């Protein structure tokens, strides 16, 4: 890996994170190795090359899987509370390195420094959650229909968990999966996005340090780098019982088919097309804050970003004017400058898709209230900065039905009862996050009822973006149906077993069946 000089203290951050000029790419712990083609990581902040890492070859991959398989044999035997202690130490390391890791996230991905710090905080929070969980991996006991018998359920470690993550949350989503998987006695093989490989290297180095300090085997935490071909090595590998994949719906369908073909398990967190419903009883000030952050936070590159604002016709103009006024206050620029609200898109391909989406909404009959556009000139040399845009549109527009990973907000109008707005919200193939802004209790409860939002996340008087780790995170329909992070999401990382114990001298059969010899 060849590091280059950078501004904003990035070189110092990399040094603190243990990323130095060495050959790094694949890793089975503290040992880094790779022999594939180089992957260049360019910052969308200033367009500079940060570093180049080597991708994983098939031979490298086999070393990783063998190491992970061996590590699993011993890691699963360690009591869960002791595994929890290791995760606690990992969380402490993250606390110590929160500032440099948050800075790397901001610089390599392009989100604001505050959001970068927030992402590392998510990692810390899930570690705290997992430590408590390490003493709560509970099953159930049941009464048997047969006398002298006892029945119960328990959960066992699953094995190797393959994690495929996306660029927009280059460290947090890995931690959501990894912290829980480690507690459950699993080992992890992670393929980060090829757009943010350095974030992956940094996290792997931190984890490897903790495992090494505890004299634990290589392979509990593994890293592989590369494009979709490396991901295919994982999805087709029968040695990996669970694949957790975060990304686009297109990618998720491919992963699901590959994993299902070998009867493996998949946990999918895919696209969102999230809406906020604004009723006549909404607090307009709260609505504007929630909608603007939801639409422009991370430059609209969150799966929970607000894409659609469904506004009652009686307050439509009032909300529209307030939004336009709020957008005029947004500052776009270097995300490491905390005076700025909006950073760059991840790369020039994302800019192209943003521009195509704006063209399509106009072609389909929409009206651009704020035209958006690509920014150029001093401070925008990377070519990845764009203006957040607002368009009046209809829900049945093809482009509105599609998720564009960019800061474009579509305003939709509804009339009559709140159910009409709910039907509009549900009228897309995605089903991740949703929200309603209202002070009307009946409207709020209807939105949360069985005939209300069909999304995995449904909020009242907060936006669609920004989930806490305590709740299960995930969505329905083409969002994939997976659940990560809190609640009982841990169960997907374990195999379930029902046990029946006969403590008598007889062998009665279930259902009263007679079988005499």
Catalytic residue positions? 269, 303
Whether 422 and 416 have beta carbons less than 8 Å apart is answered as no
Alpha carbon of residue 481 to chain centroid: 13
Pairing of strands 187-191, 221-223: parallel
CA–CA separation, 407 and 3 (whole Å) = 31
SS3 222: strand
What are the backbone angles phi and psi of residue 423, rounded to the nearest 5°? -65, -40
CB atoms within 10 A of CB 485: 26
At CB < 8 A and 24+ separation, what contacts does 128-132 make? 128/91, 129/179, 129/469, 129/470, 129/485, 129/486, 130/84, 130/87, 130/179, 130/180, 130/182, 130/183, 131/84, 131/85, 131/87, 131/88, 131/91, 131/183, 132/84
Smallest CA-to-CA distance from 84 within 480, 490, 389, 377 is with 490
At CB < 8 A and 24+ separation, what contacts does 95-103 make? 95/124, 97/16, 97/17, 97/206, 98/124, 99/13, 100/12, 100/13, 100/14, 100/16, 100/17, 101/13, 101/17, 101/171, 101/199, 101/202, 101/203, 101/206, 103/8, 103/9, 103/10, 103/13, 103/336
User: Distances in Å between the alpha carbon of 229 and those of 27, 36, 70, 343?
Assistant: 18, 12, 24, 30
Q: CB neighbours of 468 closer than 8 A, spacing ≥ 6?
A: 125, 486
CA–CA separation, 469 and 95 (whole Å) = 17
CB atoms within 10 A of CB 144: 15
Q: CB neighbours of 469 closer than 8 A, spacing ≥ 6?
A: 122, 125, 126, 129, 176, 485, 486
Smallest CA-to-CA distance from 189 within 74, 105, 70 is with 70
Whether 300 and 113 have beta carbons less than 8 Å apart is answered as no
For 342, which DSSP code?
B
Whether 163 and 190 have beta carbons less than 8 Å apart is answered as yes
């Amino acid at each position: 890996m060849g590091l280059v000089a950078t501004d904003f203290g990035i070189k110092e951050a990399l040094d603190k994170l243990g990323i130095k000029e060495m050959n790094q790419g694949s890793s089975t712990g503290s040992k880094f190795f790779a022999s594939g083609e180089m992957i260049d990581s360019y910052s969308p902040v200033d367009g500079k090359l940060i570093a180049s890492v080597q991708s994983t070859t098939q031979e490298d991959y086999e070393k990783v899987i063998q190491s992970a398989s061996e590590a699993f044999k011993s890691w699963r035997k360690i009591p869960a509370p002791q595994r929890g202690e290791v995760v606690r130490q990992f969380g402490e390391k993250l606390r110590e390195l929160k500032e440099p890791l948050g800075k790397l996230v901001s610089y390599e991905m392009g989100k604001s420094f505050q959001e970068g710090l927030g992402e590392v905080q998510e990692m810390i929070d899930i570690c705290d959650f997992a430590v408590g969980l390490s003493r709560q991996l509970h099953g159930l006991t049941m009464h048997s229909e047969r006398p002298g018998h006892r029945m119960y359920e328990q959960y066992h470690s699953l094995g190797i968990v393959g994690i495929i993550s996306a660029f927009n949350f280059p460290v947090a989503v890995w931690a959501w999966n990894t912290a829980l998987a480690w507690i459950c006695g699993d080992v992890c093989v992670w393929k980060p996005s090829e757009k943010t490989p350095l974030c992956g290297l940094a996290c792997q180095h931190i984890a490897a340090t903790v495992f090494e300090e505890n004299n634990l085997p290589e392979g509990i935490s593994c890293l592989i780098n590369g494009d979709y071909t490396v991901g295919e090595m994982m999805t087709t590998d029968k040695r990996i019982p669970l694949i957790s994949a975060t990304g686009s719906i297109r990618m998720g369908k491919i992963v699901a088919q590959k994993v299902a073909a070998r009867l493996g398990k998949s946990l999918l967190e895919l696209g969102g097309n999230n809406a906020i419903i604004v009723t006549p009883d909404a607090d307009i000030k709260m609505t504007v804050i929630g909608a603007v952050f939801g639409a422009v936070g991370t430059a609209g590159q969150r799966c929970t970003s607000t894409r659609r604002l469904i506004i009652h016709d009686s307050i439509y103009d009032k909300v529209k004017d307030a939004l336009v006024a709020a957008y005029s206050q947004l500052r776009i620029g270097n995300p490491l400058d905390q005076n700025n609200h909006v950073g760059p898109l991840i790369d020039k391909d994302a800019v192209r898709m943003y521009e195509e989406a704006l063209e399509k909404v106009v072609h389909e009959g929409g009206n651009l209230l704020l035209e958006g556009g690509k920014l150029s000139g001093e401070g925008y040399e990377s070519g990845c900065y764009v203006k957040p845009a607002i368009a009046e549109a209809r829900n049945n527009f093809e482009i509105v039905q599609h998720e564009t990973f960019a800061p474009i907000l579509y305003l939709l109008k509804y009339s009559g009862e709140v159910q009409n707005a709910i039907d509009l919200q549900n009228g897309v193939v995605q089903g991740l996050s949703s929200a309603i802004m209202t002070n009307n209790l009946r409207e709020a409860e209807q939105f949360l009822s069985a005939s209300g939002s069909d999304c995995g996340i449904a909020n009242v008087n907060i936006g669609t973006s920004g989930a806490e780790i305590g709740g299960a995170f995930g969505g329905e329909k083409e969002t994939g149906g997976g659940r990560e992070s809190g609640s009982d999401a841990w169960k997907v990382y374990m195999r379930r077993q029902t046990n029946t114990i006969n403590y008598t001298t007889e062998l009665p059969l279930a259902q009263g069946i007679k079988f005499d010899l």
